[in-house]
Amino acid sequence: EPEVTQTPSHQVTQMGQEVILRCVPISNHLYFYWYRQILGQKVEFLVSFYNNEISEKSEIFDDQFSVERPDGSNFTLKIRSTKLEDSAMYFCASSDLANQPQHFGDGTRLSIL
Amino acid sequence: LAKTTQPISMDSYEGQEVNITCSHNNIATNDYITWYQQFPSQGPRFIIQGYKTKVTNEVASLFIPADRKSSTLSLPRVSLSDTAVYYCLVGPYQAGTALIFGKGTTLSVSS
């Protein structure tokens, strides 16, 4: 079964540094998403992306965040100047156009020191 | 989006059938009901989705009464590996739409 893959599985970064989280969505999917889950809390929506544009974003997705589809297979989340509170699991998901469910990767654990 | 209410936790034994009920009194006409499963340190995994009546796949069944104000996820003959958090989500489920997760139901299966 095709799956969403995310790299790295764990990223440790100093506060104030930039970090890029990478995702390879399922190949025929056209909608891409980022979610995060702070330890012990709910899964929270960050952003959805379609046709090289942001479709929807939450209040969490402020100016320090950006997303990009740099080529035909990768989807990235960049955090420009990380804060301690950015420490969380970040999940990428993808879906196709036909109202099918979102499929999630196993996440990148981001630890900000 | 419709608010959902589900038990915080449930306990079961291997081989038993587990039914997790979700209440969604203000479900809208174009809302679907979707269940996800999440293991520790993994992403949510889609289990099943339905609009009305009953839906069954190789993993679970989803029962939705005529008024659609609740739904029940049924897991037949659970095993230890079914220990996870189960989320009930209700929404229009259009492509590109944010999924809104609650706290889910933590299912613990013992031998």
**pLDDT beyond 80 at A12:** yes
Placement of tokens 């609740």 in the chain: B70
Q: pLDDT tens, A41-84?
A: 999 999 999 999 999 999 999 999 999 998 888 999 999 999 99
CB contact under 8 A, A35 and B38: no
Q: Which residues of B touch A33 (CB under 8 A)?
A: 98-99
What's the N-to-C CA distance of chain A in angstroms? 36
> What is the rounded distance in angstroms from the CA atom of residue B68 to the CA atom of residue B27?
7
| Chain B residues with beta carbon closer than 8 angstroms to that of A31 | 95-96
Q: Test B100 with A45 for CB contact under 8 angstroms.
A: yes
Question: Which of A39-53, A89-103, B49-63 is predicted with the least confidence, judged by mean pLDDT?
Answer: A89-103
Inter-chain residue contact B43 with A105, CB threshold 8 Å: yes
> Is the pLDDT confidence value at B76 over 80?
yes
Residue-wise pLDDT tens digits, B30-53: 899 999 999 998 999 999 999 999
Name the nearest CA neighbour of A9 among A18, A21, A26.
A21
**Which residues share a beta bridge with A91?**
A35
> Between A43, A48, A58, which is nearest B101 by CB?
A43
Distance CA A65, CA A67 (A): 7
A45 to B98: CB separation less than 8 angstroms, yes or no: yes
* Residue reference for tokens 């929506």: A45
B42 to chain A: which residues are within 8 Å by CB?
106-107
Q: Is A67 on the interface with B (CB under 8 A)?
A: no
Is the pLDDT at B1 greater than 70? The verdict is: no
The two structure tokens encoding residue A95: 């879906």
| CA–CA separation, A11 and A26 (whole Å) | 23
* Share of chain B residues as helix, strand and coil, in percent rounded to the nearest 5: 5, 50, 50
Cα separation, A27 vs B22, whole angstroms: 33
